[in-house]
Amino acid sequence: MLIVFSICLAPLLSAKEIKKININEASVVELTQLKRIGPKIAKRIVEYRENYGPFVLPEDIMKVKGIGPKTFKLNKDRITVE
């Protein structure tokens, strides 16, 4: 019975939507919710967009010092640009 219950609930659990963070509008505090992003790097993200304008693609976050492909890959499903 437990197996049937688990099979029935599996689609519901996998369908749970991940909260996306708009890196063009998020505050330093909001950006620290991303994996491997502490206050120092979050501040760099905010400073980057203030100096260079909004990010066009989520991948553009890798232009910020301290964010490389590994950090981007960990967060790509949680990042949006609007």
Q: Is 24 helix (H, G, I), strand (E, B) or coil?
A: coil
Q: Is residue 65 part of a domain?
A: yes
Domain total in the chain: 1
pTM across the whole model: 0.80
> What are the beta bridge partners of residue 22?
80
The arithmetic mean of pLDDT across residues 61-80, rounded, is 98
Q: Rounded distance, CA 4 to CA 2, Å?
A: 5
Asked if residue 58 belongs to a domain, the reply is: yes
What is residue 17's predicted lDDT score, i.e. its pLDDT? 73
- b/e for 30-50, b at 16 or more Cβ within 10 A? ebbebeebeeebbebbbebbe
Alpha-carbon distances, residue 68 vs 37, 43, 44, 73, 74 (angstroms):
11, 16, 13, 9, 10
Q: Is residue 3 part of a domain?
A: no
pLDDT digits (tens, 9 = 90+) for 31-62: 999 999 999 999 999 999 999 999 999 999 99
Range of 41's domain? Answer: 18-80
